[in-house]
Structure 1
Amino acid sequence: MDVREFVLSAGRAVLDVVEREWQPLSPGELEQRLDQAVEEILEADLMAPLKARPPPPGGAQLLRSQASAEPQVLPTETCVSPPEEETPEPREPIETVDDAAVKYITDVLQNSESRARMAGRARLSLPHTVLLSLTLLSERVSYRSVSRRFHLEKGNIHRIFFSFCERLNTLQEKQIRWPVGGEAVEALSPLCRPDKEQEEQQGVPRVLGVLGHTRIPIRLPIGKHDVESMVPEVKRMKMEAHPDSWLNLQLACDRKGRFLHCRTSRGSDVDRGGALRDKLEQQPELMPSGSCLVARAGYPLTAQILTPYSRSIGPREALFNEMLEEHFQILDQAVANLKARFKRLRYLDIGNYERARAVVLTACVLHNMFLDMGQEVQGDVEKEEAVTREGALEMDDEGVRRRDAISDLLFKMFESGSV
């Protein structure tokens, strides 16, 4: 009874440590880790009496000779069966991360002001830390698979990866920055097809960036699961649209697909561009003269942010919406490229919002860094359901007047054959 109580107590302690240190392991992996710890404790208890016995005459010499001898291969019928290999997971194989990308990101981190040492009991070199983290982000592989490749414990890999994400998050302001001055002027693109000079003469604004959003599915926090439902997790989240099963990612990108603005929020946050709208109103110098942002319906219509018409669609309004749609495709492609490069964003098996947010922000920072390197990944655009609420659309008077004036100019240009 004493041994059993000891094992049970030790098992509980190990489980507490595992749950704290190895998050986000699945329940099955936690149970496996606990079983392994209990087996080690029982084995130690069985071996303790043998070690305590005095060795027989000549036993010490025999043990030394056995230790120095080469290991012998026993016949198959007498050999203890090795533990069964874990069933391979039905996932894509781990692809080799580009060496140039590892070197570039390593150099950026070494030259950054943030010098905090990466976490983890095993002191991986910075290049190997970058390689490990890019592997986890780029492929939907498990911690178990990466553990085998890098010969590290899964819990240690978890700490190293999130330490890497925290380090990358400190680079957000440098890598995801709003263009100003000459950089902003260079980023401007025509609202419609005519050349720049004709647009400027006609008074049609030029586009600084495209504002929009996407949703990243994440694991529901403990206590919010519907244990009775047998519908697969991701499919059930899409059907039920539980607010805590999604992370909102709001983005603004330029014509090259580079992110200028990034904001993450919980799924229950229904704000669409409100913080950015307030910032642009308070700091009008952020928008070059004669420029604007474009955003889909559901975002606030202001003098700085133009959105399409959603009511009373006539030829004039339809033409304006068509011109904006060409810009929306730029953001759609940038989001598709982001998810194609960082496949872990398809579903983040993380029930902690702050950690999920750190991973998503890391992917956005790396997206811009890869563009700086000239490495682009072309993803397939998935049409997402637009989140629009007709009764809650925000439109200020100046934004309504500017949109009407621009749509009138575009329609006149269209009738004259300029568009």
Structure 2
Amino acid sequence: MFRNLISEFFADLNRQKLRSSLTLIAIGWGTLSVIILLAFGRGLGTGMLNGMLGAGNQVIIVYGGQTGMAYDGLPMGRPIRFTEADVEQIRRAVPGIEYSSPQYGRWGMRLEHDGNITTTYMEGVGPDFEIMRTMYPASGGRFINEMDIEQNRKVLFLGDEIAVTLFGDKDPIGGEVKLNGVPFTVIGVMEPKMQTSMNNGPDANRAIIPYSSFRNLYGNQTVGSILIRPGDPSLQPQVKEGVINYLSAKYNFHPEDNEAIPMWDFIEDEKMTRAVAVGLEYFLFTVGFFTLMIAGVGVANIMFVVVKERTREIGLKKAIGARKVHIISQFLFESIFISLLGGAAGLAISIGIVEFVLSLNLNEGAGEFLGQPEISAVSVIVTTGVLVLIGVLAGIFPAIKAARLDPVESLRYE
């Protein structure tokens, strides 16, 4: 039975070569549009997310601001500044915090090695900064650890680009860099990463030292900001509330005074980025879907032609006892099969295009986003379902028309 359906299908295609070829091309093009749009859309969404996480992975940055309202007899406009002790006290007082670090910062730091000189923004931080800011060391190096903090070591962690500026092709690990004239030992270089959000420049050009060494060198009494990360993103509301309650009680400002301690919430940013990425995929799928539906008109057209050309054959089948369901099934099968055949061709070409783009290794500029397309199993399954739907919709009316033909009139058809 199945073999007969296949042979009849290809016989119909052979009788309508031009029409069939154009229909298959239309279906293939529609499938190609859907798959490629979704692949590049997903790549763009993933790139946006990775770029945002490159600046902060589920981190909440708490800045010291100034009070925006009078409170408890105190005037508005009071500066709020934190100390290193606040970081540890917040971690103990607020449940759910897994990582935390003070953050000092200083512009215009002069770095020199072997005659190579550059300036950058330097930060003094703790060991947890590595995970929170995704500043992972490349092979052979390490990030700042607790011993560096306790012993006020003059050690330096470099961004990947500034390391090249200072050391060129040489291995920086163990090398000496003079930081405003003070010798520091390089302990690690950041593994290259994508970063779209940033403050004070990209991490690739950053110099990092232990916060205790920063304080001893420059005498800072207050930290620039506090970084915290919940153990679970779902704890974000409770953690933020706990931090606000603790700091408002200690520094005597209204808990609803958002100007007193501005926050940069990467968890909220991540939710928004994921929502944008999903919305983009839905939009691109809709565009491709309508392209496919237009191609379905061609399938319906060719099926009506097939019914017309096989009128006598249909009449003969009904005369010898073929039931309506058999006639409908035959034409529905052919309609679905032609949709899937064109779709398979479009999918194969799409895979080839995606693999070619991936082989180019576009890792700079826009290539970081557009150069990493991804064909997901969900997009293939959904597209296959759409192709079947098109086959059913395009074939059902010609199939019903064929099933309703009068056998006697069909046998007289010329």
What TM-score do you get using the length of structure 1 for normalisation? 0.24
Structure (1 or 2) with the larger CA radius of gyration: 2
**Greater relative contact order (CA < 8 Å, ≥ 6 in sequence):** 2
Report the structure, 1 or 2, having the larger helix content.
2
